[in-house]
Amino acid sequence: MNIKSMTLTELTDAMKEMGQPAFRAKQVYTWLHRGVRSYDEMQNIPKELRSVLAEKYPIMTPRVMRKQESQKDGTIKYLWQLSDGNCIETVLMRYHYGNTVCISTEVGCLMGCVFCASTLGGLVRRLEPFEMLDEVLFTQVESGLPISHIVLMGIGEPLDNMQNVLRFLSLVNSPEGMNISMRHISLSTCGLVPKIDELAKEKLQITLSVSLHAPSDEIRDKIMPVNRAYPTDALLEACRRYYGQTNRRISFEYAMIDGVNDTEECARLLLKKLKGLPAHMNLIPLNRVEESPLKPSSRSAVMKFQKILEDGGVPATVRRTLGSDIDASCGQLRRKYTKEKQNES
């Protein structure tokens, strides 16, 4: 296992086997979670131990391939190259409540949602826990801005990489590491029902976001292939069970697509289906993706939709689009970069 994927307990055990006391493990762990690029930066670790560790557990770090900063709102997007050459993206958003990173959980995605750029090239591989940790660490290091919030809403489906994601959450939450509160973390899923049930058992204080995007199978089937495996009603039942287990209100995402899912009937059906489930609805005007003919709903359609939900007792906010001048949404930068590379060769 990569040293940065180890919990403090596991690292302590590994170092004990090397004849090292527990306090050393803690020192090394703290350095690693500050985003050092080499053991030589660990000033309070003896030189000999540093070279033994470097031999046994090489420190891998992502390389910045592109950095784009929005002139409008300060959003920064990083395209990283991982040790095996694959690229992923991380977005840093500056909200009034704190700096938030949106991280990728996989290289590419299997889910096939028709409006999403991340899935166009399929799934390449799942990220290791330390690679997700590195997204947070090195965004903080590179930007010089302290990170307090994390959303797992970048490239990939987090619940398709469940064990690694759970381990990442415990790493980033650890007091000797970044110590980011679970309440400051949101995880978004396209709706893998059995995995939602599994996650519920963990009873984490994170916010579960569910990408609903339609109130009925008729519409959802067309835009999200996952719906054929886990239909809308089964998904909403899983959300109710999740709430029952965790007592955490579910946050729903609803990308508003012109003429597809933005009618008043859709809003009313949604209200009916959400009855009795404590929820919050995030309405997101669709971000245009070059390869897709789908268009965002008009502003008036979004406002009307929001009003129907609010009047029906479901709090609904229209999400501000940050970074619209820098390809900041879901997989667009990675896609552009990969295409450029293909054209070059």
Question: Binding residues for ligand SAH, per CB under 6 A?
Answer: 111, 113, 115-116, 153, 157, 188-190, 211, 253, 255, 284, 286-287, 289, 329-330
Q: Would you please indicate which residues are annotated as catalytic (active-site) residues?
A: 89, 330
CA angle at residue 92 from 335 to 257, to 5 degrees?
55
3-state SS of the chain is: CCHHHCCHHHHHHHHHHCCCCHHHHHHHHHHHCCCCCCHHHCCCCCHHHHHHHHHHCCCCCCEEEEEEECCCCCCEEEEEECCCCCEEEEEEEEECCEEEEECCCEEECCCCCCCCHHHCCCEEEECCHHHHHHHHHHHHHHHCCCEEEEEECCCCCHHHHHHHHHHHHHHHHCCCCCCCCHHHEEEEECCCHHHHHHHHHHCCCCEEEEECCCCCHHHHHHHCCHHHHCCHHHHHHHHHHHHHHHCCCEEEEEEEECCCCCCHHHHHHHHHHCCCCCEEEEEEECCCCCCCCCCECCHHHHHHHHHHHHHCCCCEEECCCCCHHHCCCCCHHHHHHHHHHHHHC
Instruction: Count CA atoms closer than 13 A to 71's CA, side-chain side.
Output: 1
The tokens of 30 are what?
A: 């703290």
State the nearest-atom distance from the C-beta of 136 to ligand SAH, in Å. 16
Closer Cβ to ligand SAH, 15 or 153, answer by number? 153
Closer Cβ to ligand SAH, 107 or 111, answer by number? 111
State the nearest-atom distance from the C-beta of 109 to ligand SAH, in Å. 6
Closer Cβ to ligand SAH, 32 or 260, answer by number? 260
State the nearest-atom distance from the C-beta of 246 to ligand SAH, in Å. 18
Closer Cβ to ligand SAH, 28 or 131, answer by number? 131
State the nearest-atom distance from the C-beta of 156 to ligand SAH, in Å. 6
Sign of the alpha-carbon dihedral angle for 245, 246, 247, 253: negative
State the nearest-atom distance from the C-beta of 55 to ligand SAH, in Å. 38
CB-CB contact of 57 with 50 (8 Å)? no
State the nearest-atom distance from the C-beta of 285 to ligand SAH, in Å. 8
Closer Cβ to ligand SAH, 135 or 253, answer by number? 253
Closer Cβ to ligand SAH, 20 or 139, answer by number? 139
State the nearest-atom distance from the C-beta of 329 to ligand SAH, in Å. 5
Closer Cβ to ligand SAH, 189 or 207, answer by number? 189
